[in-house]
Amino acid sequence: MRRFGFTTLTLVTIALAATAFADSHAQPAPDDTVKGRRALMGTIGYHTGILGKMAKGDMPYDAALASAAAENLSTAATMNRLTIWIEGSGVGSAEGTRAKPDIWSDPVGFETAAMGLETAAAAMVIAAGTDLDALRGAMQGVGTACSTCHKAYRAPAN
């Protein structure tokens, strides 16, 4: 009985130590990562929305606002991905995410898709302040970059 008690205590101690180790990993908790990622996607979506509404004629074209939106879209697209795409924060590991495991099993493909948005957003920075036709042309590239990455690396909505 004493020996059993000791063994149980030892196992509990090991389990607690393992939990403490997991808690103190040098990375944010998966749910925090999802919140941070959704915030960044919200920033990308907000600025793409301004440009998209101008392209569709749902908002009057304004060169200064379009330029600022393009600049912020480009800035958001080029953020360091190390803090945002942390392995273990995808579907099945965290709540409220549609990030597919392919992001981590196919890192070269994912990086290529992410670079697609960087490239399209950089073109938009040039186009947005030029005129509405230029903005519309660049918007096609932005839309393609969004959908290419989402099709491959984002799970369907429930």
Task: Tell me: does residue 56 bind its own copies (CB under 8 A).
Answer: no
Task: Tell me: does residue 87 bind its own copies (CB under 8 A).
Answer: no
Distance CA 30, CA 28 (A): 6
**What residues does 99 pair with on adjacent strands?**
154
Q: Which is nearer to its own copies, 1 or 26 (CB)?
A: 26
Identify the residue among 2, 20, 80, 108 touching its own copies (CB under 8 A).
Answer: 80
Q: 33 Cβ partners below 8 Å, 6+ apart?
A: 27, 83, 84, 86, 89, 94
Task: Tell me: does residue 89 bind its own copies (CB under 8 A).
Answer: no
Identify the residue among 52, 55, 72, 117 touching its own copies (CB under 8 A).
Answer: 72
Q: Which is nearer to its own copies, 1 or 22 (CB)?
A: 22
Distance CA 52, CA 59 (A): 9
Identify the residue among 14, 18, 42, 144 touching its own copies (CB under 8 A).
Answer: 42
Distance CA 138, CA 111 (A): 21
